[in-house]
Amino acid sequence: MSNEKILNGENKKEAREVKGTREYLPAEQLVREKVLDILKGNFKRYGYGPIETSILELYDVAASKYGGGAEILKETYRLKDQGGRELCLRYELTFKFAKLIEMNPTIRLPFKRYEIGKVFRDGPVKTGRLREFTQCDVDVVGVKSLAADAEFIDMAFKVFAQLGLNVNVQLNNRKVLFGLFSECRIAEKSHMDTALALDKLEKFGEDVVKKELLEKGINDESIVKLFDILYAVSQKQTNEEKLSFLGGLMQNELGAQGIKELKEMLDYCIGFQTKGDLRFVPTLARGLGYYTGPMWEVYMNGDGKVKSSLAAGGRWDKMVQEFLNSKDEYPATGMTFGLDVIYAALEERKHVSVQSKLEHIPAVLIVPINTLNICLELASQLRSNEVSCDISFDKKLGKAMDYANKQSIPFVAIVGEKELKGKQVNIRDMESGKEELYDLNTVGIRLKESLRLSEQTHHS
């Protein structure tokens, strides 16, 4: 029978994953948790505190408050509760943050927060892009200065340097993009369509984009001028040269302001001593439904299967104001890191950059040889000294050693009657194969120190 198995006389459906979801075993999840440790460490280092928002949302709130248009709502998972209320699963964390500000009017600004949680989108699936995925968002509300945006660029490079991933950050500004369209005499009502078409340039090429622009009603003269300008920009070597060239062309206030903002951001990056591959890309278009100024995306350098952005961000000055229906301004900026796509990039590289930094769980396997009760006490001592350990309840010595070797457990504590008579424990270092007798009363302290030294050796 297709996709079924007969078990104990009953029809059992064959277990399989929902498309666009993924499950992780301990060896994989330890890598993911190491990524989260690095992210959280940087978020806190830059002054951001944690929050948590609900996964469930009222659909009318999500639909009416969202600033990104109808496209995202097509990918929203909808459901009803037993009371007949229309609900949905959250599709991102940014609008949840804006709602949080709305519902907590006493929050003092600036308010800096990070949130890590699952989001859900019923969209296309590819390498690094799932339908259930984890976002790691970090945002600040209440800061107008573009130094806050530059600080996120600095944070991004530091995060990926710690992860050992070679990345580039592509930077643009909504005002530059739309200002450029105005220079090419593209009607304002067509700016969004033009931006979305232009964003496909790298993936599909110039001919496909030009054809789409014509289909969207952009006249041929405007298209020719747009691509002439983009080609001229591409011939400039540095970000500063590209911005200066575009700035000389911009005759409209919006575009000129965008150029000024990007130059200011680059100056702040110099102030932060930011080191990394930062590129001004005038065709970059993302989050245009709610981004109001600078916007950026992080991509892997080199050839690889992971083509999606690993992280992205931008300034979203209007969203909270619209949520509150307020005359007051709530300037905001931030970015999101994609845990699943970052994991995919690390997985492609065999986790080499973080493998040596992973903690071992367990770090010690205790093997009792007719000494189980004493081994229970030993396990308690090790755990009191913050040493992760497990007890081989059922395996004989040979099988226990084979298990420890296959599980990459660093140390095995062999506890036999002979060792106990001398109040000692035989500790085997599984990497070197050396054995040493530790005093039973201080084995926890000594193993903790041995693990610390072992970690230092691997990290150096």
Q: What is the DSSP string of 380-439?
A: HHHHHTT--EEE-SS--HHHHHHHHHHTT-SEEEEE-HHHHHTTEEEEEETTT--EEEEE
The correct answer on CATH 3.90.1150.10 for the domain covering 26-354 is no
Q: Does 300 have pLDDT greater than 90? A: yes
Backbone angles phi, psi at 339, to 5 degrees: -60, -45
Percent of all residues in the chain with a pLDDT value above 90, rounded to a whole number:
71
Whether the Cβ atoms of residue 268 and residue 147 lie closer than 8 Å to each other: yes
Query: Given this model, what pLDDT does residue 458 score?
Result: 55
Query: Given this model, what pLDDT does residue 65 score?
Result: 59
In sign, the C-alpha dihedral spanning 335, 128, 123, 103 is negative
CA–CA distance, 377 with 381 (Å, rounded to integer) = 6
153-155-157 Cα angle (round to 5): 75
Query: Given this model, what pLDDT does residue 321 score?
Result: 86
Tell me what the pLDDT averaged over the chain comes to.
Answer: 90
CA-closest candidate to residue 387, choices 455, 457, 460? 455
Query: Given this model, what pLDDT does residue 456 score?
Result: 62
Whether the Cβ atoms of residue 393 and residue 409 lie closer than 8 Å to each other: no
Indicate the helix (H) or strand (E) that contains 280.
Answer: strand 277-280
Query: Given this model, what pLDDT does residue 1 score?
Result: 47
Domain ranges of the chain: 26-354, 364-459
In sign, the C-alpha dihedral spanning 168, 173, 178, 179 is negative
- The contacts of residue 367 (CB under 8 Å, 6+ apart) are 392, 395, 397, 400, 401, 412, 413, 414, 415
Query: Given pLDDT bands bounded at 50, 70 and 90, which one contains residue 69?
Result: low
Q: Are strands 389-391 and 132-141 parallel, antiparallel or unpaired?
A: unpaired
Average pLDDT for residues 42-61, to the nearest whole number?
95
CA-closest candidate to residue 109, choices 150, 144, 143? 143
Query: Given this model, what pLDDT does residue 84 score?
Result: 95
Average pLDDT for residues 189-210, to the nearest whole number?
89
Q: Are strands 56-58 and 389-391 parallel, antiparallel or unpaired?
A: unpaired
Query: Given pLDDT bands bounded at 50, 70 and 90, which one contains residue 194?
Result: very high
Q: Give pLDDT tens digits for 342-384.
A: 999 999 888 877 876 777 889 999 999 999 999 999 999 999 9
Superfamily of segment(s) 364-459: Anticodon-binding domain (3.40.50.800)
Q: Does 121 have pLDDT greater than 70? A: yes
Q: Does 4 have pLDDT greater than 50? A: no
Tokens 């996709």 label which residue? 3
Average pLDDT for residues 11-26, to the nearest whole number?
83
Average pLDDT for residues 314-331, to the nearest whole number?
87
Identify residue 130 by its one-letter amino acid code. Answer: L
Q: Give pLDDT tens digits for 29-47.
A: 999 999 999 999 999 999 9
Q: Give pLDDT tens digits for 248-295.
A: 999 999 999 999 999 999 999 999 999 999 999 999 988 777 889 999
Q: Give pLDDT tens digits for 402-431.
A: 999 998 899 999 999 999 999 999 999 999
Using the 8-state DSSP alphabet, how is residue 358 labeled? Answer: P
Q: Does 92 have pLDDT greater than 70? A: yes
CA–CA distance, 334 with 261 (Å, rounded to integer) = 16
Q: Does 318 have pLDDT greater than 90? A: no
Query: Given this model, what pLDDT does residue 135 score?
Result: 93
Q: Does 94 have pLDDT greater than 70? A: yes
User: What end-to-end distance do the CA atoms of the chain give, in Å?
Assistant: 56
Average pLDDT for residues 171-179, to the nearest whole number?
95
Q: Does 459 have pLDDT greater than 90? A: no
Query: Given this model, what pLDDT does residue 245 score?
Result: 95
Tokens 């029978």 label which residue? 1
CA–CA distance, 157 with 150 (Å, rounded to integer) = 11
Average pLDDT for residues 71-94, to the nearest whole number?
91
CA–CA distance, 236 with 338 (Å, rounded to integer) = 32
Stated pTM of the model = 0.85
Residue 114 token pair = 């990070």
CA-closest candidate to residue 232, choices 251, 248, 217? 248
Average pLDDT for residues 19-37, to the nearest whole number?
92
Q: Does 6 have pLDDT greater than 50? A: no
